[in-house]
């Protein structure tokens, strides 16, 4: 497949992901805040309650940590420094822009929807509001960005797809851990994943276009 074919396929996949995420977020928001339906959240809590034990709790706490600010802030800083040192300027710009804008989006929406957290957490009570899940949103944008970067920089297909599958596994279990620990409703997590995907696709589209224009202007300046 030629370069144009791959670009068309990539664009189609990005548009499909964007609109799927948008529809999913709209559906969840309508279900929770307009129709006031709670069956989905209660059913998931009931299902996970059957699997609560010390081993699973330890595993879920580990995955919850991977989606927390205690892990994601240092991870983002390390990633930015890495690309600064190897002179991949645009990656070192995209990472903080997507990370910070995702954080702002999450905080604004939490205040807008103002949903209280589940009343009976499994362990300790978490601070803040519930909808959308910050762990789900921020982990999707961070690990999703890693998948995107690897798709551009890793040539070996097996390594690239294996890395993507591992990160998708991590993203899923971060979201699952928040429900298992009863710190979020399942609808919070689905909404967070949807917003993370939506925001990642939108942010990359805008930043890639800015990068393209910048490189074009730089090329024209050199030619002059």
pLDDT at 217: 62
CA–CA separation, 19 vs 42, rounded Å?
Answer: 27
Residue ranges in the chain whose pLDDT is less than 50: 2-3
pLDDT at 60: 97
pLDDT at 203: 93
Buried b / exposed e over 143-154, threshold 16 CB at 10 Å, is: bbbbbbbbeeee
pLDDT in tens, 111-141: 999 999 998 999 888 888 999 999 999 999 9
Task: Copy the structure tokens of residue 170.
Answer: 């991590």
pLDDT at 20: 93
pLDDT at 129: 93
pLDDT at 56: 96
Q: Angle, to 10 degrees, between the axis of helix 69-85 and the axis of helix 134-153?
A: 20
Asked if residues 144 and 94 have their Cβ atoms less than 8 Å apart, the reply is no
pLDDT at 87: 67
pLDDT at 44: 96
Full-prediction pTM beyond 0.85?
A: yes
């Amino acid at each position: 497949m030629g370069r144009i074919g791959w670009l068309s396929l990539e664009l189609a996949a990005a548009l499909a992901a964007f609109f799927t995420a948008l529809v999913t977020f709209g559906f969840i928001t309508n279900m929770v805040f307009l129709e006031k339906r709670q069956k989905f959240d209660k059913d998931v809590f009931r299902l996970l309650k059957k699997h609560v034990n010390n081993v699973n709790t330890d595993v879920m706490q580990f995955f919850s940590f991977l989606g927390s600010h205690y892990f994601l802030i240092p991870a983002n800083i390390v990633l930015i420094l890495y690309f600064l040192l190897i002179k991949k300027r645009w990656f070192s710009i995209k990472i903080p822009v997507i990370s910070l804008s995702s954080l702002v989006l999450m905080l604004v929406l939490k205040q807008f929807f103002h949903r209280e957290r589940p009343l009976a957490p499994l362990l300790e009570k978490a601070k803040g509001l519930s909808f959308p899940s910050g762990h789900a949103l921020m982990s999707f944008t961070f690990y999703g960005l890693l998948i995107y970067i690897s798709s551009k920089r890793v040539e070996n297909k097996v390594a690239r797809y294996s890395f993507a599958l591992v990160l998708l596994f991590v993203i899923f279990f971060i979201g699952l851990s928040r429900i298992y620990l009863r710190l979020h409703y399942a609808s919070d997590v689905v909404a967070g994943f949807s917003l993370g995907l939506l925001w990642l696709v939108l942010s990359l589209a805008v930043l890639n276009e800015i990068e393209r224009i910048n490189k074009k202007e730089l090329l024209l300046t050199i030619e002059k």
